[in-house]
Structure 1
Amino acid sequence: MIPRARHFVAAALSSALLMLPAFTGVADAAPASKVFAVPLAKTLSDVKRVAGYWRPDRLKQADNYSPATPAAAAAPTTSSAAAASGPGAPVAVVKQATAAQGVAPVPPRKGTARTMGKVFFRFGDKEYWCSASAVAAKNRSVVATAGHCAYDSRQAKPADYWIFVPNPGPNGETPDGIYVGASISMHEDWSGKADYDYDYAFVTVHRGFTWVAKDGGYVMQDVGRLQDNVGGLGIDLNEEPGSYTVAAFGYPAGAQPDGSTPFNGKTLRKCPERATRFTVAPGRDLQKGVELQPCDFSPGASGGPWLIGYDDSRRLGTLNGVNSLTWNRDAKGRYDAVSSPYFDTTTGEVYRRAAGLTTIPNVT
């Protein structure tokens, strides 16, 4: 028997969901593709229905909702769980290298980038939230987050009332707008098997809006496309773990293993840059996850970006992962690592599907 101090415990970072059901079908996928696509708000009336749910009074309570947290599970208890083998505005520019490939980051039309924020949504009759980020794309309208922050694999059902709020204020403020989800693009093994090797989603969003007070109530005011307003992170694919360093970001809020709550979910946090390595957890169907240690993120940070080459002055970097699982590798009182799915060529296929969609021209 392995001593307790050496047990490795993994939990999803960001609704007690996710078992491993049989695959139930593809909503929109080419025969040779691994992309599973699910529509969210398709029409103007759909957008207004979602917007009407997230009125200012509800958004003021948003930080009191639950950070989405699929049920915890033990990882392997042997050392195999350790390292293993607007007009005129810029648009995304594709770059390619011999092994890696990706998309360059893009600044907003005005000011400094503000790409990171939160997604709010419902599963059933309960509200949840996660972390997320805006990604550079030709449609200027893509958000990256964890798969479990957009789709419930147990019920084979997407989240309801899904919105992205970049740069959220501590009391429900939405200084850079509210963006209603139009469509989720993900890997079929997330939707069908809850395979944490593919716990990522790229959500195409509609044009943003803000609530404006009028005649004793509120009306929606269109504010334009996401990327134009806040910029977009780049994307980097097929990097070899250990050959680069990343910084992880998110809005952690949940309790640590010892019950303490050092984070309040209202402040964007950063785990300092570290080299990554592969990690394996068969109990989570995780064979090629990438681990960052040390990092004490807790629930709420799910879906937050992993960035290469983050420039603090421009607040831009290149996306190479998203927070998926948090780890208590030494079985002590605090989480000490976080892992992401490995971003490879298939991830690029999922991203390109999200980046190629068009949305309705006006949300008001």
Structure 2
Amino acid sequence: MKRLLIPLAAAGLSAVTLAAPATAKPNWASDNLQPKPADAYGAAFFWLDSNGAALKKATQYTLDTKAVPKMVTSGGNGSTDNGKPGSTAPTGTTKSSAKVSNVNLPKTVGKVFFLDKAGRYRWCTATSIQSRNRNLVATAGHCVFENGKDDVYDKWIFVPGYYQGKAPWGVYVGAYAYTAYDLDTYDDYDGDYAFVAVHNGFSLGPERAVSFKQFKAWAGDKWVKPREISREEYLKCVLNLGECYSEGKTTPADLVGPDHPDAVLEKVEVSAAKYKAARVGKGQGFKFGEPVVEHVTKRKWAAYNGPGDKGRGPDALGNYKITHYYVQKWVKPGTSRKYYEAQFIIGIAKDMGRLGDTVGGQGFSWNQPLNQKVMAFGYPSAPHPDGNKPFTGVTPKHCYGKTGTKKSQVNMFRVDTHQTLKCSMTPGADGGPWLMKYSNAKRVGYVNGVTSMFHDTDKNGRIDTISSAVFDSETADVYNKANYAATKRIVGPHGELLK
């Protein structure tokens, strides 16, 4: 897919105006995900179908390397030296003065799901972030762009508050993705972040049976569900030119030996004389158990005309009895032609509104000094290098602490200026936000990084440090372009697919 590379925008963020010389290279690159409503609906349905089976099947994304990336501390100090610090405030907060002892998980954090280049179902962590169109998701660049410059992932969606295949606030399909030019062009993980503009969210509601005319006119999800009917109902349906059909053919059962792979045993009632003459064992016409004595009413006894023995009348106690005799019948069952009537079903979807209006959006900050207190969230799942697996990826986890005082390098991924945080979360937490000034009561803060890589600094086989790109003026420029991306509603007020 051809990339769309556009020079820096002169339009500014809410707290700063960004500008660049006309000859400067662009700081950002973008690509389309699913900009058309029909494609977006199809991507969401892929993940939601069969009660979220694909969501539950997905596994965490891991970097394309067998070894844990080796990190070294650079000589850089705690200053970003990239310009004036800036920030945009979070949205969707609720005022609260109550003191909270436990960490409250933000509604904005969830999972992104996508298909990787091998067609595997993958996920990373992400968060809703404040934007003018209330439609922006922040995550790691490698959770959107496949090996940087190659392409973007397929069927990319965001599920805020994801838990065990559930999407409590709907599914938001990616429309446009924005990342650093250097990540896109050179696979440089100093720019390992992405901002994705998503369409309005929606959820799948109940199905409804409708007429063929309504079915034909419906623009949303629809399918034909067969209902088995009797032959008489089928003939009536055909007579009335209804939507019905038949399958298969009627064939009689065949007598076979008891060792035939398709043999089914049936019992056949015979006379006492025939039963007495039959052999004992397993075989066609052999005895089927012992005679069965049935106590009946006088009326039933008088009316019985079968092969069993009903004697001459009541016994000494006045009881009427019929003795039944059975022999074996081994058959290969025949087949019956089946008849069906077509039921026309439509799927009703519900518009969940814009992402930021539904779950709020975290703030965004850039050019902040290092050694900041941050709360990092993610859905860790992968085992540690030594095989220990303390996380399931089902619920989000967190780490709290100060970022490192010096920038770090990871030569394997062309990293010169990553910031670090002591944290034991493993892959699956990729793309999770690092929230500066996190308010536990309001559940919001300022995104000042996203988890990019995982490191074992003391070489004991356990992840102990995570790293993120430093959010600087170039990051702000990428965010600024994504901030203006306009997206659409996918479904209308009646659950129909919009064009």
Q: TM-score range by the shorter chain?
A: 0.7 to 0.9
Report the equivalent of 1:219.
348
Deviations 1:133-191 (A, max 9, x none): 00000010000000110011267110100000000122x11111100000000011111
Q: Determine the C-alpha separation between the residues in 1 that align with 2:149 and 2:360.
A: 34
Q: Determine the C-alpha separation between the residues in 2 that align with 1:259 and 1:307.
A: 29
Report the equivalent of 2:399.
271
Does residue 129 in structure 1 map to residue 123 in structure 2? yes
Give the superposition deviation at 1:323. 0.3
Give the superposition deviation at 1:232. 0.4
Report the equivalent of 2:302.
none
Deviations 1:23-51 (A, max 9, x none): x9632422742110001111121112212
Q: In the alignment, is the contact (CA less than 8 A) between 1:109 and 1:229 conserved in 2?
A: no
In structure 2, which of residues 110, 113, 123 is the aligned counterpart of residue 120 of structure 1? 113
AA partner of residue 267 (structure 1): T
Q: Determine the C-alpha separation between the residues in 2 that align with 1:305 and 1:353.
A: 20
In structure 2, which of residues 401, 417, 427 is the aligned counterpart of residue 288 of structure 1? 417
SS of alignment partner, residue 400 of structure 2: strand
Unaligned runs of at least 5 residues, structure 1: 1-23, 86-97
SS of alignment partner, residue 43 of structure 2: helix
Report the equivalent of 1:84.
75
Q: Determine the C-alpha separation between the residues in 2 that align with 1:110 and 1:222.
A: 27
SS of alignment partner, residue 324 of structure 1: strand
AA partner of residue 210 (structure 1): S
Report the equivalent of 2:317.
none
Q: Determine the C-alpha separation between the residues in 2 that align with 1:262 and 1:217.
A: 43
SS of alignment partner, residue 197 of structure 1: helix
Q: In the alignment, is the contact (CA less than 8 A) between 1:67 and 1:254 conserved in 2?
A: yes
Does residue 149 in structure 1 map to residue 143 in structure 2? yes
Q: Determine the C-alpha separation between the residues in 2 that align with 1:345 and 1:351.
A: 10
Q: In the alignment, is the contact (CA less than 8 A) between 1:307 and 1:321 conserved in 2?
A: yes
Q: In the alignment, is the contact (CA less than 8 A) between 1:245 and 1:276 conserved in 2?
A: no
In structure 1, which of residues 308, 329, 337 is the aligned counterpart of residue 457 of structure 2? 329
In structure 1, which of residues 17, 27, 36 is the aligned counterpart of residue 4 of structure 2? 27
Q: Determine the C-alpha separation between the residues in 2 that align with 1:58 and 1:82.
A: 47
Which piece of structure 1 moves more, 33-42 or 141-150? 33-42
In structure 2, the CA distance between the partners of 1:273 and 1:303, relative to structure 1 (3 Å rule), is same
AA partner of residue 4 (structure 2): A
Give the superposition deviation at 1:62. 2.1
Give the superposition deviation at 1:192. 1.6
Give the superposition deviation at 1:275. 3.2
Report the equivalent of 1:42.
35
SS of alignment partner, residue 301 of structure 1: coil
1:150-299 matches, cutoff 5 A: 150-153=144-147, 156-170=150-164, 172-215=165-208, 218-242=347-371, 244-277=372-405, 278-293=407-422, 295-299=423-427
Report the equivalent of 2:91.
106
Q: In the alignment, is the contact (CA less than 8 A) between 1:119 and 1:163 conserved in 2?
A: yes
Q: Determine the C-alpha separation between the residues in 2 that align with 1:312 and 1:128.
A: 30
TM-score, normalised with respect to structure 1: 0.83
Q: Determine the C-alpha separation between the residues in 1 that align with 2:383 and 2:68.
A: 17
Q: Determine the C-alpha separation between the residues in 2 that align with 1:326 and 1:260.
A: 15
Which piece of structure 1 moves more, 117-126 or 338-347? 117-126
AA partner of residue 197 (structure 2): T
Sequence identity percentage: 33
Give the superposition deviation at 1:132. 0.2
Which piece of structure 1 moves more, 354-363 or 201-210? 354-363
AA partner of residue 84 (structure 2): A
Give the superposition deviation at 1:66. 2.0
Deviations 1:306-325 (A, max 9, x none): 01111111110110000000
Q: Once superposed, which parts of structure 1, at least 4 consecutive aligned residues long, lie more than 3 Å away?
A: 73-77, 108-113, 361-364
Q: In the alignment, is the contact (CA less than 8 A) between 1:108 and 1:227 conserved in 2?
A: no
RMSD: 2.3
In structure 2, the CA distance between the partners of 1:67 and 1:259, relative to structure 1 (3 Å rule), is same
Q: Determine the C-alpha separation between the residues in 1 that align with 2:442 and 2:107.
A: 9
Give the superposition deviation at 1:123. 1.5
TM-score, normalised with respect to structure 2: 0.61
Q: In the alignment, is the contact (CA less than 8 A) between 1:108 and 1:230 conserved in 2?
A: no
Q: Determine the C-alpha separation between the residues in 2 that align with 1:51 and 1:316.
A: 27
Q: Determine the C-alpha separation between the residues in 1 that align with 2:205 and 2:349.
A: 6
Report the equivalent of 2:58.
65
Does residue 139 in structure 1 map to residue 123 in structure 2? no
Q: Determine the C-alpha separation between the residues in 1 that align with 2:184 and 2:56.
A: 27
AA partner of residue 35 (structure 1): W
Q: Determine the C-alpha separation between the residues in 1 that align with 2:397 and 2:58.
A: 19
Report the equivalent of 1:91.
none
Unaligned runs of at least 5 residues, structure 2: 8-23, 77-82, 97-103, 209-344, 492-496
Number of aligned residue pairs:
323
Report the equivalent of 1:52.
45
Bigger-Rg structure (1/2): 2
Q: Determine the C-alpha separation between the residues in 1 that align with 2:93 and 2:170.
A: 14
Report the equivalent of 2:474.
346
Q: In the alignment, is the contact (CA less than 8 A) between 1:164 and 1:180 conserved in 2?
A: yes
In structure 2, the CA distance between the partners of 1:100 and 1:271, relative to structure 1 (3 Å rule), is same
